[in-house]
Amino acid sequence: MTSSQAMLAGDEITITPTELVAGGAAMARVDGFPIFATNVYPGDVVVVRLLEVKKGFAHADLVRLIEPSPFRRAMPCPVANECGGCDWTALRLDRQLEAKQRILTESLRRIGKIDPATLPPIVIHPSPLNYRLRSRLHRGGGKAGFYAMRTNDVVQLPPECEVVGLRTREEPRDGETWEVDGKLVTEGGMIIDGYHVTTDAFFQVNRHLLATMRKLVMKLANRVSGVGGRESEPIAAPAFSDPRPPSPDSRKTAIDLYSGVGFFSRPLAEIFERVTAVEGAEAAHECAKQNVPDNVTLVHAPVEWWVERMPRADFVFLDPPRSGARRNVIDAIATRAKEMVCFLACDPVTFARDASRLIASGWRLASLDLLDLFPNTHHVETLASFERAQ
């Protein structure tokens, strides 16, 4: 009888996980049978309760910690084991980054079928805590905070929370709340990092890494545009009637897919003659009208529809949702991008799938940056560049 046949949902067993995997769970093997457990970390000796047992694996949850892992830190948050706002709070911050790097590498190996030995070095960009520009809190039972893990029970946001901004944890409110320049905004418009944003439009959540993301993308774009030295300069407000002209010797173009409020379109417009920014969400598209200069063509359409008529461009940037880009989007980019594809991905599994499609279409993975946009959680943000294979 195999271990899986002997195990039943509800059983309690003792395990020692060896690694963290995509999705945030820790994996242990019992006689070769994988068990994925939450609220535990590599090196822990724990008793877990099996939640479900399937043919090839089981899911479990923590019952009792017998011996803590040396990778744990003193619990900074009194509700960390129940709150759904983050799932790796008890793990040392350096080990969080190591785990995310391994998750990215393993996703590219397992899903993308990419030999880890062929990968470019992964550059890691850590983030300070209390990073959230916006938080969606809930109210229930006289409490205001995040939902508990796997339920809609509200867990009171504690003063020690390391995820939300300092003002938010002092003044938790129900619903979507943005924290900008020390003030809480629940509706309407605001200026964030020089950009007009409304509360119903998408904007990157980590306040600390906005400039880092922009600088990294511009450094890559400059290799294509031929305009050097701009990536470290501050991005000025757009001059609508007199946009900054492109370099006299540059006639190159860029496309920004899933362009949002124009966070990347605007700096790209400083070094490319023409930028086309494509966004399907109306709120973000309307914000972009106030954020970008005249040499940016704004297209309000689903990316999946627009790419069927996508022109050729020297530089293509995309920042798709967590589900990744659809196959026709990757196929269009692979065919119509001339020099470089720059990909900002918020899920390592779907990124690995999309990366493998680009590579199979004649592109090579040239650079990898890991941005820790969500400390204390398992989420991995990847910035990658692809160049034409020789």
What distance in Å separates the CA atoms of residue 298 and residue 306, rounded to the nearest whole number? 12
Structure-block tokens of residue 277: 């920014």
Query: Crossing angle for the helix pair 93-110 and 348-360, nearest 10 degrees?
Result: 40
DSSP 8-state symbol, 356: H
Q: Tell me whether residue 346 is one of the annotated catalytic residues.
A: yes
Closest of 141, 208, 209, 133 to residue 167, by C-alpha: 133
Any idea what DSSP says for residue 147? B
**Can you spell out the DSSP letters for 75-114?**
---TTTTTBTT-S-TTB-HHHHHHHHHHHHHHHHHHTT--
Of the CA atoms within 13 Å of residue 372, those in its CB half-sphere come to 25
Q: Which residues pair with 195 in a beta bridge?
A: 192
Q: Where are the beta strands (DSSP E) in the chain?
A: 12-15, 19-20, 26-30, 33-38, 45-53, 58-67, 122-125, 134-140, 143-145, 175-180, 183-185, 189-192, 195-198, 253-257, 274-279, 296-300, 313-318, 337-345, 363-371, 381-388
Q: 107, 135, 146, 184: which is closest to 352 by C-alpha?
A: 107
What CA–CA distance (Å, rounded) separates 99 from 24?
A: 10
Give the integer Cα–Cα distance in Å for 293 and 238.
5
What is residue 121's DSSP assignment? Answer: P
Q: Which residues are catalytic?
A: 346
